Amino acid sequence: MTLVSILGDFHSSILPIFYDYKDRLNTHLLVYDDSKKDVQNAKNVNNGIKKFIKKNNSSLVGLNYKLDEDSIEALDRCAQYILTLSDNPSDIYINTTDGYATLTTILNNKLFNKGVNFIAYDMFDNQYNILNSSGLTTKNIEKNMNIVDHFLLKGYKVEKSSLKVFAEKNAKNIKKIFEKMSEKYDDFTKLDSYIYPTIDDLRGRYEHIKQIILEMDSSFSVQPVKHPLFTGTLFECYIYLVVKEMEFDDIEIGMEISRKYKNSYIKNEFDILIMKDNHLHMIECKFKNFIKLDELVYKYIALASTIDEDGKMAIVTKKPPLYNEEIDLHEAKGLTYKRGKLSNIYFYGNVHKNKTKFQKEIKELFNI
C-alpha cells in the first residue's frame, strides 16, 4: 500500500492517517509546495518520519516530492509520478484533507477514474472518508497516536521524565498532603528559608510534613525548603494522579521536547499532557502565590501549534480563579481570562476541595 500525504497548514490533518496506516504501508510520499514555509514544515515532518521508521525498525520507504502548486505542468507531473509508486492504482491512497485546492483538483481529475483512493480526515470526530470510483466509505481511526510519537512525527526530540514513576510510587503520601493537609502545606511553602534552610530543619507543626516527605525519599532531608520539588512539582504530581483516573489514550508528566535551530536546541517542558482520539491537550500546574496569568496566556498561545492545532489547555492553580459570570459579562474586567478562553485556554483551582467537580470539568473540556 502507498499513502500520499499532502502537507497543508496543519500536521494534525496528515499524521493520524499515517499512524493508522503505518503497519500496512510499503511507501509513504509527502507532497509539499516550494514556498519557504512549506519546505521547512516538510523538513520537520520528513525528519520525524525518518526517526519514527528507525525507532520501529520498519521497512517503510519514506519519500518526498516538492512542487510548484501554481504550475499546471508541475501538478500534472506530480500526478504521473504518484502512479509510478504502485503497479495497482487501487493500492494508492491520497490524503487530501488539508491539501492545496489546485493540486487536489488536478489529482482527482487525473487519478480518480484510474482507481486511486482519496482520503478526507475529520480531526474532530477522529474518522475519515475514503472516496473512490466505487463510492464513499466512512471509517474510524483504529490506532491512535501516543504522545511520544505525536511529537516525534512532528520532528521534535522527546525526553520523558521520571516523575510518572515517582508520582505512582508515592501516590498515597502526595494525596495526603494536598487532600488532608493542604492549608498546612501551603504555609510550609511560605516558610523563611533562613529559619528553615532544609527539610531536616523542620520542627513543630511541620514535623508531620517532614515525615511524609522523608517517606518519599530519605535523601530529601538535605534539600532546601524552597526546592522546586516542594513548591511546585509535588502539586504537579497530585494533579497528574487526579486526572490519570480518567479514560484517555495516553498521559505524560514533565515531558520535554526540543527542536534544533542552527547550533541551538529550543526546548519546551510541559507539566501534564493528555492524548485522546489524536487530540493532544495540556495541563499547566501552578502552586505559587503570585502568578502572572497574562504571561502564561501569551506563552501558551504561542505554543498552541507546537502542542496541537486543535488542542485545549487548562491552567490549574491552588486557589480558584477570580472569574465569574458577572466578570464574564463586564466590558473591562477579566480580560486575561477572556483572552485565554478565546485561545482554548481555561483556568481551574481548589482541586483538592472538590476533586470530582474538577474531573468532570476536565472531561468536558478535553471531550474525554
User: How confident is the model at residue 361, as a pLDDT?
Assistant: 93
Domains and CATH numbers, the chain: 2-143 (3.40.50.10770), 145-368 (3.40.1350.10)
Position 221 pLDDT exceeds 90: no
Residue 10: which pLDDT band, with cuts at 50, 70 and 90? low
Position 300 pLDDT exceeds 90: no
User: How confident is the model at residue 235, as a pLDDT?
Assistant: 93
Report the DSSP pairing between strands 157-159 and 250-261.
antiparallel
User: How confident is the model at residue 323, as a pLDDT?
Assistant: 67
Position 307 pLDDT exceeds 90: no
If one compares 352 and 118, the residue with the highest pLDDT of the two is: 118
User: How confident is the model at residue 322, as a pLDDT?
Assistant: 67
Q: Please compute the mean of the pLDDT values over residues 137-155 and round it to a whole number.
A: 94
Q: Please compute the mean of the pLDDT values over residues 36-47 and round it to a whole number.
A: 90
User: How confident is the model at residue 62, as a pLDDT?
Assistant: 93
Question: Residue 34 carries which side chain, given as an amino acid letter?
Answer: D
Position 279 pLDDT exceeds 70: yes
Q: Please compute the mean of the pLDDT values over residues 165-188 and round it to a whole number.
A: 92
Q: Please compute the mean of the pLDDT values over residues 101-119 and round it to a whole number.
A: 93
Cell of 24: 500496512
pLDDT tens digits for 237-269?
A: 999 999 998 889 999 999 999 988 888 888 999
